[in-house]
Amino acid sequence: MQQAIIMDGQSLSQKIAQDCAEKLAGLNNPEIVLATVLIGDYAPSRLYVNLKMRLAKKAGLTPRLVELSADISNDQVEDILLSLAGDNQVHGILLQLPLPEHLDTNRLLEMIPPEKDVDGMTIQSMGRLIKGEVGMVPCTPLGVMRFIKEYNITTEGRTAVVIGRSYLVGIPQMLLLSKQGIDASVTLCHSKTEAIEDICRNADIIVAAAGINGLIGKSAVKPGAAIFDVGITQVDGKIIGDVIYDEVKEIAGAITPMPGGTGPMTVASLIENTIKAAEMQGAIEGNSLEL
Ligand code: NAD
């Protein structure tokens, strides 16, 4: 029985933070500020923000938390984002989503200038990604690309399937896998796709980001394929991915666990994006621009 390589997001994310701290120490510890705007008291958002701030600190960055009450107006948030945008001491701005319903998420995201958009969620960032220009890339698909690099997964000429077509994960993942230099041929699947199993069975790489527990089992996986599990569902308080890990790991060539795979790498990508932001703003010298 083949056993897959387990792509360990926990240790890779710690290594990325460590490398970042060493890099900043070598530059005499410049203060690189990552400002996170957290609105309201949605518990999962607070949990994610805490994880992000903890890793940022470990990486030698200066996290700054801007906490706002759930009933704040759109104009007030706009003013706060514009003030962070104009503040030379702030290098990265993260607007933690989802926002309370009365706020206009798309409009507010666009207050973040592209060089500070460490979540890669603005139209400018997405446009740059489409055109292959230097810019910020959403953290979860960037984390998958980091795994691919770290574990030497061959992409050129290979077949990839991305499941999910969101602006946050699926679409940027498709763009990243198919861009020049990575050169995979990508099929994008979504909730209306028929015979997903048949499509997946031919894939060398699968990124499952639907949030459907048990979507990808052994019968949908080509032997030796690299499997990235992004989707998250909670069952009886337990975090479960889209991939049936125990059976798929017997046939895959490499697989991310859930938890401990793509999640920590999403946070690590935020660190990498913040360093890239500081470089784009000329606050530090470096060569992360091609990440
Ligand atoms: P979303 O709800 O915006 O998108 C889900 C996508 O899955 C949609 O495009 C939909 O068409 C597709 N889909 C739904 N049912 C499907 C089915 N039966 N077959 C195929 N496709 C189907 O969600 P999102 O923001 O893209 O996040 C996707 C999942 O990834 C969620 O579970 C989310 O919690 C998780 N997530 C994980 C991380 C991480 O770090 N691991 C980060 C972000 C999101």
Listing DSSP states for the chain in one string gives ---PEE--HHHHHHHHHHHHHHHHHHTT----EEEEEEES--HHHHHHHHHHHHHHHHTT-EEEEEEE-TT--HHHHHHHHHHHHH-TT--EEEEPSSPPTTS-HHHHHTTS-GGGBTT--SHHHHHHHHHT-S----HHHHHHHHHHHHTT---TT-EEEEE---TTTHHHHHHHHHSTTT--EEEEE-TT-S-HHHHHHT-SEEEE-S--TT-B-GGG--TT-EEEE---EEETTEEE-SB-HHHHTTT-SEE--SSSSHHHHHHHHHHHHHHHHHHHTTSS---GGG-
In degrees and rounded to multiples of 5, residue 121 shows phi and psi of -100, -5
Q: How far apart are CA 104 and CA 67, in angstroms?
A: 18
Report how far apart, in Å, the C-alpha atoms of 133 and of each of 125, 195, 233, 271 are: 9, 35, 34, 20
| 89 in active site | no
Pocket test for ligand 1, best of 105, 146, 173, 191 (most atoms within 8 A of CB): 191
Query: Which pLDDT score, from 0 to 100, does residue 213 have?
Result: 96
Please give the average per-residue pLDDT across 144-168, as a whole number: 98
| 96 in active site | yes
Confidence of residue 289 (pLDDT cuts 50, 70, 90): low
Contact call for residues 18 and 271 (beta carbons, < 8 A): no
Query: Which pLDDT score, from 0 to 100, does residue 259 have?
Result: 96
pLDDT cut 90: percent of the chain above it: 96
- The predicted-structure confidence for 232-253, as pLDDT tens digits, reads as follows 999 998 999 999 999 999 999 9
Question: What is the Å distance from ligand 1's center to 188 Cα?
Answer: 12
Closest atom of ligand 1 relative to the 232 alpha carbon: 32
Confidence of residue 285 (pLDDT cuts 50, 70, 90): confident
Query: Which pLDDT score, from 0 to 100, does residue 291 have?
Result: 44
| 52 in active site | yes
- CB of 168 shorter than 6 A to ligand 1: yes
Query: Which pLDDT score, from 0 to 100, does residue 3 have?
Result: 84
Question: What is the Å distance from ligand 1's center to 166 Cα?
Answer: 7
Alpha-carbon Rg for the chain, nearest whole angstrom, is 19
Q: How far apart are CA 55 and CA 263, in angstroms?
A: 13
* C-alpha 198 chain-centroid distance: 27
pLDDT cut 70: percent of the chain above it: 98
Confidence of residue 1 (pLDDT cuts 50, 70, 90): low
Measured CA angle at 194 (ends 193, 199), to 5 deg: 90
User: Does 115 have pLDDT greater than 70?
Assistant: yes
- CB of 191 shorter than 6 A to ligand 1: yes
> How many Cβ atoms are within 10 Å of 181's Cβ, its own excluded?
8
> How many Cβ atoms are within 10 Å of 126's Cβ, its own excluded?
21
Question: What is the Å distance from ligand 1's center to 231 Cα?
Answer: 6
Q: How far apart are CA 166 and CA 187, in angstroms?
A: 14
- The predicted-structure confidence for 195-238, as pLDDT tens digits, reads as follows 999 999 999 999 999 999 999 999 999 999 999 999 999 999 89
Confidence of residue 33 (pLDDT cuts 50, 70, 90): very high
Confidence of residue 290 (pLDDT cuts 50, 70, 90): low
User: Considering only 54-68, 105-119, 274-288, which range has the smallest mean pLDDT?
Assistant: 274-288
- CB of 241 shorter than 6 A to ligand 1: no
User: Does 78 have pLDDT greater than 50?
Assistant: yes
- CB of 52 shorter than 6 A to ligand 1: no
Please give the average per-residue pLDDT across 30-57, as a whole number: 97
